Amino acid sequence: MIPKTSETHHWSDELKRALVDPLSLCQQLNINPQQLPGGIEGLKKGQQLFKTLVPQPFIKLMQQGNPRDPLLLQVLPLGAENQAVTGFVTDPLQESKYNPLPGLIHKYTSRVLLTTSGACAVNCRYCFRRHFPYAQNSLSSSGSQAILDYLQKHPKVNEVIFSGGDPLATPDTRLATLVKQLESLPQLKRLRIHTRLPVVIPSRINTEFLNWVTKTRLTLVMVLHINHPQEIGAELIQALGRLKSAGVRLLNQSVLLAGINDQASILAELSEALFTQGVMPYYLHTFDPVAGAAHFAIDDKQARQIYAELLAELPGFLVPKLVREYPNQPAKTPLGW
């Protein structure tokens, strides 16, 4: 049965209304842009490299008048993004080496990643794919047969991961068709969706989405991307309720980010809030050294210290795995402490 939703507006309209001008964002939040590092000039310079995109439901979760708001800092362009820093590169995970077909990344033996969309509903300044060439690399409807052929030749693959961009920026008609095609491969057991869209536009979890989700024979896992407890608002809680009623298994991954969630108390609060809503903390990623985002990086010593404090504070099942992704490794690598 499809869980009931109260749909007053469509998520795609919300996407169209997203703010693309950082000055308007400051204005809406009653923040003087001159208070920000680099001022108005910094906003403009950061914006040239990676455009601003912030939907209204996410802005509503930010604090008025606070230039250090942890949600705002994730999306606000800064002049620091223009500084070249040694070791910070455009493709930190070297994904281009594992990209046998447009729209398909195959790094790990049993699972492949399909970039169903190059679009996102929010542009996170720390994104490790902020330079990814989506224009040449998103899955087109004509390319899905090539993907199916590839999967048939790789029978050890039993899980497909929808990624992006944000896969839920793809219309449901297209997702439903793709899922139907994937279901025809008996080797596939699971479909995993990595998404931040329900966090920034909770109305994405609507009847059209739940319609195909409740019909697929694949076990559906959704990995949300929430970095801070303030991101869990009332609308997201309702959306999570709909996902749980539809039988979707819910996990969360976060990125450890300087100035956002680099305190054990914040991460503990996040884990508690996730668990209360039926979402299991899954990964805490160390920062991928992507060019333009060095100001979010935390060194390993500090990461280990934060993690040790988190372990002391929470029961083990609420502690996400602290991991780093290395380009040439067959899985994510736990960061020892």
Closest Cα to residue 326, out of 295, 277, 289, 294?
A: 289
DSSP SS3 for 41 = helix
Is 191 a residue that touches ligand SF4 (CB under 6 A)?
no
Nearer to ligand SF4, 38 or 198 (CB): 198
Question: At CB < 8 A and 24+ separation, what contacts does 126-130 make?
Answer: 126/74, 126/255, 126/257, 126/287, 126/290, 126/293, 126/296, 127/50, 127/290, 127/293, 128/92, 128/93, 128/288, 128/290, 129/95, 129/164, 129/165, 130/50, 130/290, 130/292, 130/293
Is 166 a residue that touches ligand SF4 (CB under 6 A)?
yes
Place of tokens 């802005």: 59
Output the smallest distance, CB 32 to ligand SF4, in A: 26
Nearer to ligand SF4, 76 or 151 (CB): 76
Stretch that binds ligand SF4, among 121-129, 154-162, 209-217, 268-276 (CB under 6 A): 121-129
Query: Which residue from 22, 165, 198, 202 is in contact with ligand SF4, where contact means CB under 6 A?
Result: 165
Report how far residue 143's alpha carbon sits from residue 245's, in angstroms, rounded to the nearest whole number.
33
Nearer to ligand SF4, 132 or 188 (CB): 132
Output the smallest distance, CB 144 to ligand SF4, in A: 21
Nearer to ligand SF4, 104 or 314 (CB): 104
Closest Cα to residue 100, out of 181, 62, 157?
A: 157
Nearest 10 degrees: Cα torsion 72, 76, 93, 330: 10
What is the number of helices (H) and of strands (E) in the chain? 13, 9
Is 124 a residue that touches ligand SF4 (CB under 6 A)?
yes
Is 314 a residue that touches ligand SF4 (CB under 6 A)?
no
Stretch that binds ligand SF4, among 117-125, 142-150, 282-290, 311-319 (CB under 6 A): 117-125
Is 228 a residue that touches ligand SF4 (CB under 6 A)?
no
Q: Which strands make up the sheet holding 104-108, listed edge to edge?
A: 104-108, 111-117, 159-164, 190-195, 219-225, 249-255, 280-285, 321-324, 333-334
Output the smallest distance, CB 120 to ligand SF4, in A: 3
Nearer to ligand SF4, 309 or 325 (CB): 325
Query: Which residue from 52, 99, 116, 123 is in contact with ligand SF4, where contact means CB under 6 A?
Result: 123
Output the smallest distance, CB 106 to ligand SF4, in A: 19
Output the smallest distance, CB 316 to ligand SF4, in A: 27
Nearer to ligand SF4, 196 or 228 (CB): 196
Is 47 a residue that touches ligand SF4 (CB under 6 A)?
no
- Please, which of residues 129-148 interact with ligand SF4 by CB under 6 A? 129
| C-alpha 139 chain-centroid distance | 18
Output the smallest distance, CB 7 to ligand SF4, in A: 23
Q: Which two tokens stand for residue 283?
A: 């990964």
Residues near ligand SF4 (CB under 6 A): 120, 122-124, 127, 129, 164-166, 196, 225
